[in-house]
Amino acid sequence: MSLGTLYLIPVPLSETADEATFTLFAKQIMHQVDEYIVENAKTARKFLKLAGTPIPQNKLILHDYGKHARQQADKSFFFKGLLAGKDVGLMSEAGCPGIADPGAEIVAEAHRLGVKVVPLVGPSSIVLALMASGFNGQSFAFQGYLPIDKAARNKKLKQLETTVRSLEQTQIFIETPFRNNQLLEEIIRACSPNTRLCIACNLTAPNEWIASMPLSKWKGRDIDLHKKPAIFLMGS
């Protein structure tokens, strides 16, 4: 029996960005596939509705891959459809599945089982921020979340700054939205005024803004990043 295909389906980064997110091919796939592995069933149904899927909501099969489900040892039920020859979609909470996203575990298991994996074109906040930063796009690293402990975070920021200078490698990192303001303050305190920082906030939303400048120019600016999704980039 032939195996199904696992489609990695990007979803909008903001509530108003569906038209700018779904390609014709992605819509075609979502109009055909009725089984999904999702991080959040509620938002997945919303995105499928925005994509105009003709499949009734009560006919959709959604496997919850949220935080609690991921803790279960046996995940084989996620792959029953794929192993039976059905095509299945993988959807993250926002952006591209597998990029700073727990869906990478599903993709890894699909490869182990010999299931074909097809990534669809769509928005990644990390890539969009790098594109707009003006920093080195030939060599870069995504660091994820920095340490919560202030001393450890201060040390990490200095390490990232050293890497930027020695390797000319762009460093990309994020923070929980309600700690964004504190992170910006710590970056300004810990790093050299000449170090360049880019912040990309509310990407793809109507109130999107992106600024890239030396830390000396960030200092003293009245900027409120509280509870706003943001990407931080350090470059040379």
Given 3-state DSSP classes, what are the helix, strand and coil percentages for the chain, each rounded to the nearest 5?
A: 40, 20, 40
Task: Give pLDDT, residue 77.
Answer: 85
pLDDT tens digit at each of 236 positions of the chain: 799 999 999 999 988 888 888 899 999 999 999 999 999 899 899 999 999 999 999 999 999 887 666 666 577 889 999 999 999 999 998 899 999 988 999 999 999 999 999 999 999 999 999 999 999 999 999 999 999 999 999 999 999 999 999 999 999 999 999 999 999 999 999 999 999 999 999 999 999 999 999 999 999 898 999 999 999 999 98
Contacts of 197 (CB under 8 A, 6+ apart): 187, 191, 212, 213, 214, 215, 218, 232, 233, 234, 235
Q: What is the pLDDT of residues 112-143, one digit of tens each?
A: 999 999 999 999 999 999 999 999 999 999 99
Does an H or E element contain 143, and which?
Answer: strand 140-145
